[in-house]
Chains A and B, each alone.
Chain A
Amino acid sequence: MTIGEIIGIWVAAGLTLMMFSFIYRDNAFFKLGEHLYLGISVGYFVNIQYWQVLVPDVYRAIKVNHDFLALIPSILGIFILLRLIPSLAWLSRMSFAFYIGGFAGLAIPNVLHGYFLPQLFETLRPFDAGWAGNLNQLVILLGVFTVIIFFFFSLEHKNVVGGISRVGLFFIMVSFGASFGYTVMARISLLVGRFQFLIDDWIMGVIFRQGG
């Protein structure tokens, strides 16, 4: 292990413990770690934007490759920044109109073809998959129908509509429960990952110099 790696592990372990210190109470070490994280993230993203977008797609495209079409998106990009000057802010609408129009034109057919229709076909599948498959299909149909009714606000949710929307609410609660269960699992996984780092890399790998 090089001296650079050892310093890196000590810094990472220190920052991890700084963040964990919030569990006890809010404190200066946590704030320092939090601000460092935010500052480094912003610096990293500015750097990435500069080298991955501005240099190849603007500077090199225009100056080196003489691709003057690159001026159009560059000017539209500058228009967005003009929102900071109130008297010229209206120019940004052109950029947003271009972006939203272009992306909507691209996304609508693709999303319809690649997402909406396959999901619709699967929801409206014929009942020909055996009793277990058919039961599953019935539950899916019931779930889709009742949840759509739950989010249908043009009719007051009482009597039959109210009853159906309550069934929809039940499906939504089941969905939230599943999502929450998975969320708990994800958060514990992150904790496990940090503990693996602290135990394997820092304590065993650096402090006790084992397996390194």
Chain B
Amino acid sequence: MDFVNTILNLDRRVIYTIVGLLVAIPLIWPFSLPVIPTPETRGIYNAMDALPPGSHVMIAADFDPASKPELLPMLEALLAHCFIKDLKPHLLTLWPSGPGLAQQAIERQAEKYGKESGTDWCFLGFRYGTVAVILGMTSSITDTFVTDFYGKATSSMPIYERVSDIADMDYLVDIAAGATVEYWVVYAAEPEGVPMGASCTAVSATSYYPLLQAGQITGLSGGMKGTAEYEVLLREEYGQSFNIPTGDATKGMDAQSAVHVFIVLSIIIANICYFISLRREREERRKA
């Protein structure tokens, strides 16, 4: 069997093995390809960075472990950015399986930067209802989340002395594995006039570009690539002074790029082989 036929009849397990090796090798021996931040990700970073100390940021961690590699590092980077800038994050999730990852992230970052629950940050946890929860918070956050994730009454927390509803927030970010970005835009950011950024899985990134182009969100971070860009921006500016290590998304970009190169080459080679085989078939038919 010649090369063309070998390629066209290649066992899919060979491709899986190559992809597996291309992911594993850069993770063990990284070759540190540059990650260049795009204007989309800068839109979130610059909006967060421009907030004065003491500003309130609502972060919705609307994802679950299935999207962990793409979105958890973004949540960690956003929380680190908040604590570095002395912003007050109000973290919540509209996904029932979201609280576990969100809790780990905020406790890890709060401990690192020495921030106190109820004063410097609040983890509201999960409440059932998606749109109803967002609408509830446009009236009152403490009535919608009577207690935080740990069971403490939110109304008695110092962080809610100056803040009562979403309109009092200075910035909103939805880290979404589903369609919640649209809900936050439609039911919170637009009617309440709060600027908003969105971080989403790569699968849904194309759906949110119209929101970015229309100025309904200030920035958009799509998938692991967007998260890596945010990590790079944070490390460039605050990496030395706050000892920020290389983030998980940035570490994963070498593997990501290696597989992308392989996929692109595979598509080109497979197409060339396909057209060669077509021509051969035509020639054989003509001879016959």
Contacts and interface: CB of A to CB of B under 8 A. Distances in A.
Interface of A: 23-24, 41, 44-45, 48-49, 52-53, 103, 106-107, 110-111, 113-115, 118-119, 121-122, 140, 175, 178-179, 182-186, 188-196, 199
B224 A52 contact: no
Given A52-B96, A115-B190, A189-B223, 16 more contacts: A52-B126, A114-B189, A114-B216, A115-B185, A115-B216, A122-B215, A175-B206, A178-B206, A179-B203, A183-B202, A186-B70, A186-B201, A191-B259, A192-B255, A193-B69, A199-B24
B27 A195 contact: yes
Contacts of B96: 44-45, 48, 52
A106 B215 CA distance: 24
B68 A193 contact: yes
A190 B128 contact: no
A48 to B, nearest CB: 4
B206 A188 contact: no
A106 B135 CA distance: 10
Contact of A119 (B20, B210, B222): B210
Interface string B121-139: 0000011100100010000
B128 A122 contact: no
Contacts of B168: none
B224 A114 contact: no
B51 interface: no
Nearest to B263: A184
Contact of B223 (A118, A175, A186): A186
B213 interface: yes
Contacts of B16: 23
B157 interface: no
Nearest to B188: A114
A118 B255 contact: no
B225 interface: yes
Contacts, number: 122
A191 B128 contact: no
B144 interface: no
A193 B206 CA distance: 22
Interface string B73-114: 000000000000000000000001100000000000000000
Nearest to A183: B203
Tell me the dominant secondary structure on chain A's binding face.
helix
Contacts of A194: 69
A152 B151 CA distance: 54
B13 to A, nearest CB: 6
Contacts of B274: none
Contacts of B167: none
Contact of A182 (B191, B205, B213, B251): B205
B256 A44 contact: no
B202 A195 contact: no
A191 B263 CA distance: 14
Interface in B132-176: 135
Nearest to A204: B28
A110 B138 CA distance: 13
Contacts of B13: 23-24
Given A185-B224, A193-B252, A199 B27 contact: yes
B186 A189 contact: no
B23 interface: yes
B223 A182 contact: yes
Nearest to B249: A189
Nearest to B254: A192
Contacts of B252: 189, 192-193, 196
A30 B19 CA distance: 20
B216 A118 contact: yes
Contacts of A106: 131, 135
B210 A192 contact: no
Contacts of B280: none
A182 B203 contact: yes
A184 B259 CA distance: 10
22 contacts: A44-B96, A44-B97, A52-B127, A103-B131, A111-B186, A115-B190, A118-B190, A118-B214, A121-B214, A122-B214, A183-B203, A184-B260, A188-B255, A188-B260, A191-B19, A192-B69, A192-B255, A195-B20, A195-B255, A196-B27, A196-B252, A199-B24
